Amino acid sequence: MGLTVALCFNLGKDFVPRDDEPPDLHCELDSEKTVGAVCAALVDGGHTPVLIEADADAPARLSATRPDLVFNIAEGLCGESRESFIPAVCDSLGIPYTGSGVLPLALSLDKAMAKRVLAFEGVPTPPFKVIRPGEEIDVRGLRYPLFVKPLREGSSMGISPQSRVDGPFELREQVYAVHQGYRQPALVEEFLEGREFTVGILGNEDPEFFPIMEINFAAVPPEHEVYSRQFKAEWSSWDYYLCPAPVSELERRIMEETALSAFRALGCRDFGRVDIRYDRDGRPHVLEINPIPGMSPGFSDYPRMAEVGGYTYAALVNAVVRVTALRCGLLHGGRMIAATGSS
């Protein structure tokens, strides 16, 4: 028998930005299509899904349901560590869940904290500074061009071609736009002018890597050399992505090792995605870690890379369940064992 799996999510349709808010403010939240696809995949894997919106009622619903496992794709609704909400609830209730725990999710959402950990662990990441609202814009020690983005957002929110700045005037404009639009500090880092990739990871002790995807900037106008929300929305066909990326075996291995080092430095687990960009000398640097990668079928990078690697969407979802079950002791002799002891 399969497991009772609570699928925890936040629906984007429930939130419409106000006139004074940026249009992409809630774009990281999931669609009904994605929730339905994950649910159908769980059924295909022999599991019994229970849908739980990750809102204020989620703790009571999880406590009453007591699922064997939570499949967590909830981005959270508010707060500096919003992505940690469901893991924190599950930890308090003793319910196993897919993916990373409270601390890795909090660290990865705060890009500066994540970069500090990476730098301490010797994982290359672009030099940066954090500019808080009301502070002087001091970027001494950084070299132009620079890149400006919100400190605590995902899904390319707040990122556009204008995020790359070549001088102080543009820098002030973009920092102010982040402060005003997203009500949070701005992360300013050196812009790397090389190729950009994303690396998908599945598993823990001996993880699997999906074929690396390169963002094909050569297929778009030259001013769109950043992986913005507009890029993802307007150029989603395979013409704009190269997977497997055309790199040498050595380059592939170095990128995988770099991605895994970053993944482990933050304590991530089960599954995730690491974004990498080359500097002008072709050296890979970690831009961000995505421990709750987008799961929109046919759109999000993680399932697309998995598909190239031979996974159907249902197989991918159930592979995540399987690696989590193995980590949590719910898999014995190749069979799923429910927390209640049934099988």
Domain ranges in the chain?
4-99, 127-190, 196-319
Q: How far is CA 163 from CA 145, 169, 186, 220, 228, in A?
A: 10, 13, 11, 17, 9
What are the tens digits of pLDDT across the range 86-96?
Answer: 999 999 999 99
- Residue 340: predicted pLDDT: 44
Task: Output the furthest CA–CA distance in the chain (Å, rounded).
Answer: 64
What are the tens digits of pLDDT across the range 32-76?
Answer: 999 999 999 999 999 999 999 999 999 999 999 999 999 999 988
Q: At what angle do helices 85-93 and 102-109 cross, to 10 degrees?
A: 170
Q: How many Å apart are CA 323 and CA 318, to the nearest integer?
A: 9
Phi-psi region of 333 (alpha: psi -120 to 50; beta: other; left: phi over 0): left
- Residue 13: predicted pLDDT: 66
Say which CATH superfamily domain 196-319 falls into: ATP-grasp fold, B domain (3.30.470.20)
- The HSE-up count of residue 221 (CA atoms within 13 Å, CB side) is 7
Is the CATH number 3.30.710.10 carried by domain 4-99? no
- Residue 343: predicted pLDDT: 36
- Residue 228: predicted pLDDT: 78
Q: What's the whole-model pTM score?
A: 0.91
- Residue 234: predicted pLDDT: 78
The per-residue DSSP string of 122-139 comes to T-----EEEE-TTS----
Token pair for 121: 């662990």
Residues of the chain falling short of pLDDT 70: 1, 13-28, 155, 332-343
- Residue 237: predicted pLDDT: 85
CATH domain 127-190 topology: Dna Ligase; domain 1 (3.30.1490)
